[in-house]
Amino acid sequence: MPIALWWVGTGSVDEQMLEEVRRQVEREFAQPVDLCRSDQRPTGTLDAGRGQHSSRELLRWLVTARPSQYDRILGVTDVDLFIPVLTFVFGEAQLDGPAAVVSTMRLSQDVSRATAMSRLVKECVHEVGHTFGLVHCGLVACVMTRSASVRAVDAKRARLCPECRARYRMVQDGLHVYREHENPHRR
Amino acid sequence: MSTANTRILIVDDEELVRESLSGWLEKDGYTVGTAPDGAVAITRLEREPWSILLVDMKMPGIDGLQVIDRARALQPATTAVIMTAFATVESAVSAMKLGAYDYLVKPFDPEELSLMIQKIVRQNELIQENETLRRALRRDCRFRDLISKNAGMQSVFDLTQTAARSQSTILIFGESGTGKELLARAIHAESPRHAGPFVAISCAALTETLLESELFGHEKGAFTGASTRRRGAFETAHGGTLFLDEIGDIGPKLQVDLLRVLEARTFCRVGGNDPIAVDVRVIAATNRNLEKAVADGAFRDDLFYRLNVIPITLPPLRERPEDIPLLVEHFVERMSAELGRKVDGVSREAMAMLLDHQFPGNVRELRNIVERAMVCGPGPVLQPADFRLPGAVATPPMLNASLEEVERRHIASILEQTDGNISQAARVLAIDRATLYSKIRKYGLREHADAS
């Protein structure tokens, strides 16, 4: 089943950047990724008090707005995202679920377009990884490592480490049984 | 500890907070539970183990501080972190006083939360690893009641284990207080005879005729006062092990008798003519140089060779100082339970002082001074002054003392250093045991009967 990639930002889309995300996600998960060309935009996600958008609400919206031929959807936006207890998030995904979202806002602040693109690709692969049930990895270079800062994003690669790749393959083959999100890299 | 084994309980009355925080932490692989109020949190604390507790400060009913207070009683190893929307110095102080690990103001910076959780997990891992290693170390360093990580002692343990399985006579060499009887008991416990009796006799504590009667028993009327027939140690130890301590102190007649019983496995009671057959494994021990005694003609060479089938030498404590901290920890732990007094350990200065001490009385001396420090020391951590080591505490001047007073104090001091071992004290004082006994009686010094 293909994955839908949808620009749901408020500003104009950077087509080249989105194409790079599409290409890399497709390569990493060996699943077709289609660009979704709808003008529909999420509503009811803004928290006026914080001036940020709720990633949780955005995920809910993506699940309902998702075209039926896609079993997964990755939304990319330029608004600042948050979850209630945290000051911000770069993105969020439903673990083993259909939707993921990533914001370019903090990833592209005061850096070159190339750096911003590299960061966006990593976070998109990371969040899509969660939708396949992958949890955070203890290897700092693995794309599935937790990145709570842009420094951590810059420190990792856009690729799954061999362990996470093997885990992903097992999920695809229907062999993997998760036990409390056990992760071999975390001691 | 795997992340799945790290169990985090989130206690917050706001569903959005519980949901978003648990979703965030689950992606790290942690096992996450939630509770909407203090009462549910306490129930979950009563039922399941939790490694980390993230508690909202302000909740209706039981508040966050009360939950932490209860958690400390229910699960002291749990690390509690308080969360609040409003930071005040007072609330932070109250939380810390109750033992909270940290204090987070909502909303938190993701990096701050991530680092804090990682730090707690790492700290918990270290605590657990430390505990596992300590347990493994103690297990590896233990042979029955003997504890040592010294290479020489480990070889002793290996040899002992092999020797225990045989029937051969074992001769243990070692200074007073090195644990010769403990080793003999360990050999007995490891041997196929472990279900049989273990009988210990100190050959130095008794006169020759008394010792003869103790070892072989006597018939009724064998000597004045022998009003009934009595079984000796050899008979009592039948099917088991007989431990003969201070074997170097026995007289020439008993040496012959002992050799005979070791050769023939039969003996006669004192005053009796019927030979009695026994199945006894003999373990002998001495703190004397028996080879020298043989060369000097004080000890029979045939008996020496008969006893010295498997010689085992226990090194003195001063030759294995690495064991001092291990033994101190062991004694503190054991005596905390025995004395009903919780002592956390020994201060660094006190340990340095103990490591510097020569321990002429070996492990027994160490055990005694630790016990004394635990009884006399006022605090939870034993300090140098609590140990009152000889030399560490100034002895009162004896400028006006009489010769008798000086002698009394000197004998008392030597007896204390040798832990009441008469033979050893007599050797140090260069007088015979009978003289020492008479001086002990004369000066009214307390007699310690236990020999090594």
- Model confidence at B399: pLDDT above 60: no
Final residue belonging to a domain, choices B88, B117, B137: B137
Torsion angle of alpha carbons A144, A149, A151, A153, nearest 10°? 30
Residue B449 lies in a domain: no
- Model confidence at B62: pLDDT above 50: yes
- Which residues of chain A does B29 touch, with a Cβ-Cβ cutoff of 8 Å? 135-136, 180-183, 186
Element (H, E) at A5: strand A3-7
- My answer on whether B291 and B355 are in the same domain is no
Query: Does the distance separating the beta carbons of A186 and B2 come in below 8 Å?
Result: yes
Question: What is the SS3 assignment for A25?
Answer: helix
Residue B30 to residue B19: CA distance in whole angstroms: 14
Residue B246 to residue B421: CA distance in whole angstroms: 11
| Residue in this structure with the two tokens 């001074």, named with its chain if needed | B369
Q: Which residue among B20, B27, B109 sits closest to A95, beta carbon to beta carbon?
A: B27
Q: Which CATH number characterizes residue B334's domain?
A: 1.10.8.60
Confidence of residue B2 (pLDDT cuts 50, 70, 90): low
Nearest Cα residue in chain B from A90: B110
Residue A123: active-site member? no
- Model confidence at A102: pLDDT above 50: yes
Residue A10 to residue B171: CA distance in whole angstroms: 91
Final residue belonging to a domain, choices B361, B387, B413: B387
Distance of CA B203 to the CA centre of its chain: 26
Q: Does A155 touch chain B (CB under 8 A)?
A: no
Residue B428 to residue B418: CA distance in whole angstroms: 9
- Domain architecture of chain A: domains with CATH: 3-135 (3.40.390.10)
Which residue from B244, B264, B241 is spatially nearest to B192, judged by alpha carbons? B241
Which range has the worst mean pLDDT, A101-105, A140-144, B270-274, B392-396? B392-396
Could you tell me the pTM of the whole model? 0.56
- My answer on whether B411 and B306 are in the same domain is no
Q: With beta carbons less than 8 A apart as the criterion, state whether A17 and A47 touch.
A: no
Q: With beta carbons less than 8 A apart as the criterion, state whether B220 and B228 touch.
A: yes
Query: What pLDDT does residue A179 have?
Result: 45
A41's tokens = 């935009």
- Pairs across A and B, CB distance < 8 A: 87
Residue B35 lies in a domain: yes
Which one-letter amino acid corresponds to residue B75?
A: Q
- My answer on whether B12 and B116 are in the same domain is yes
Query: Does the distance separating the beta carbons of B27 and A146 come in below 8 Å?
Result: yes
Which range has the worst mean pLDDT, A38-47, B174-183, B216-225? B216-225
Residue A134 to residue A66: CA distance in whole angstroms: 22
- Model confidence at B307: pLDDT above 50: yes
DSSP letter for A62, please.
H
- My answer on whether B156 and B290 are in the same domain is yes
Structural domain count of chain B: 4
Interface of A with B in 45-104 (CB under 8 A): 56, 82-89, 92, 95
**Any bridge partners for residue B303, and if so which?**
none
Query: Does the distance separating the beta carbons of A135 and B26 come in below 8 Å?
Result: yes
Distance from CA of B66 to the nearest CA of A (A): 22
- My answer on whether B113 and B150 are in the same domain is no
- Model confidence at B226: pLDDT above 90: no
Q: With beta carbons less than 8 A apart as the criterion, state whether B252 and B164 touch.
A: no
Residue B95 lies in a domain: yes
Other beta carbons within 10 angstroms of residue A173's beta carbon come to 8
Q: With beta carbons less than 8 A apart as the criterion, state whether B141 and B326 touch.
A: yes
- The 3-class secondary structure across A71-124, one letter per residue, is CEEEEEECCCEECCCECCECEEECCCCCEEEEECCCCCCCCCHHHHHHHHHHHH
Query: What pLDDT does residue A104 have?
Result: 97
Which range has the worst mean pLDDT, A52-61, B266-275, B395-404, B434-443? B395-404
Nearest Cα residue in chain B from A185: B2
Query: Does the distance separating the beta carbons of B2 and A148 come in below 8 Å?
Result: no
Confidence of residue B392 (pLDDT cuts 50, 70, 90): low
**Neighbouring residues of A42: CB distance < 8 A, sequence distance ≥ 6:** A8, A53, A57, A58, A61, A62, A65, A75
What are the Cα distances from residue B391, in Å, to B324, B368, B394, B395, B396? 19, 16, 6, 8, 11
Q: With beta carbons less than 8 A apart as the criterion, state whether B441 and B411 touch.
A: no
- My answer on whether B119 and B182 are in the same domain is no
Query: Of A15, A20, A127, A180, which one is the catalytic site residue?
Result: A127
- My answer on whether B252 and B335 are in the same domain is no
Residue B376 lies in a domain: yes
Question: What is the SS3 assignment for A142?
Answer: coil
Query: What pLDDT does residue B103 have?
Result: 85
Q: With beta carbons less than 8 A apart as the criterion, state whether A160 and A168 touch.
A: yes
- My answer on whether B177 and B303 are in the same domain is yes
Residue B166 to residue B141: CA distance in whole angstroms: 23
Residue B450 lies in a domain: no
Q: With beta carbons less than 8 A apart as the criterion, state whether B299 and B345 touch.
A: no
Residue B63 to residue B55: CA distance in whole angstroms: 9
Element (H, E) at A38: none
Distance from CA of A85 to the nearest CA of B (A): 4
- Which residues of chain A does B19 touch, with a Cβ-Cβ cutoff of 8 Å? 56
Which one-letter amino acid corresponds to residue B196?
A: G
- Which residues of chain A does B110 touch, with a Cβ-Cβ cutoff of 8 Å? 86-89, 148-149
Question: What are the φ/ψ torsions at residue B324 (nearest 5 degrees)?
Answer: -60, -50
Residue of A54, A85, A94, A185 best to disrupt the B interface, most CBs of B under 10 A: A85
Q: Which CATH number characterizes residue B407's domain?
A: 1.10.10
- My answer on whether B322 and B308 are in the same domain is no
B123's tokens = 């700290």
Which range has the worst mean pLDDT, B116-120, B252-256, B445-449? B445-449
Residue A38 burial by CB count (10 A; 0-12/13-18/19+): exposed, middle or buried? Answer: exposed
- My answer on whether B54 and B34 are in the same domain is yes
Residue B328 lies in a domain: yes
Share of chain A above pLDDT 70, in %: 93
Which residue from A39, A99, A34 is spatially nearest to A64, judged by alpha carbons? A99
Query: Does the distance separating the beta carbons of A83 and B1 come in below 8 Å?
Result: no
Which of A130-134, B95-99, B356-360 is predicted most confidently?
Answer: A130-134
- My answer on whether B35 and B176 are in the same domain is no
Query: Does the distance separating the beta carbons of A83 and B20 come in below 8 Å?
Result: yes
Element (H, E) at A6: strand A3-7
Confidence of residue B326 (pLDDT cuts 50, 70, 90): confident
Residue A120 to residue A14: CA distance in whole angstroms: 12
Q: Does A136 touch chain B (CB under 8 A)?
A: yes
Query: What range does the domain containing B436 cover?
Result: 403-443
Which residue from B93, B95, B48, B37 is spatially nearest to B74, judged by alpha carbons? B48
Query: What pLDDT does residue A181 have?
Result: 45
Residue B394 lies in a domain: no
- Model confidence at B21: pLDDT above 60: yes
Query: What pLDDT does residue B400 have?
Result: 62
Give the mean pLDDT of A61-87.
94
Residue B84 to residue B90: CA distance in whole angstroms: 13
A117-121: long-range contacts at Cβ-Cβ below 8 A with a sequence spacing of 24 or more?
A: A117/A16, A117/A17, A117/A20, A118/A154, A118/A158, A119/A150, A119/A153, A119/A154, A120/A17, A120/A20, A120/A21, A120/A76, A121/A20, A121/A21, A121/A24, A121/A158
Confidence of residue B318 (pLDDT cuts 50, 70, 90): very high
Query: What pLDDT does residue B451 have?
Result: 35
- My answer on whether B237 and B377 are in the same domain is no
Residue B39 lies in a domain: yes
Final residue belonging to a domain, choices B119, B137, B155: B137
Give the mean pLDDT of B341-362.
86
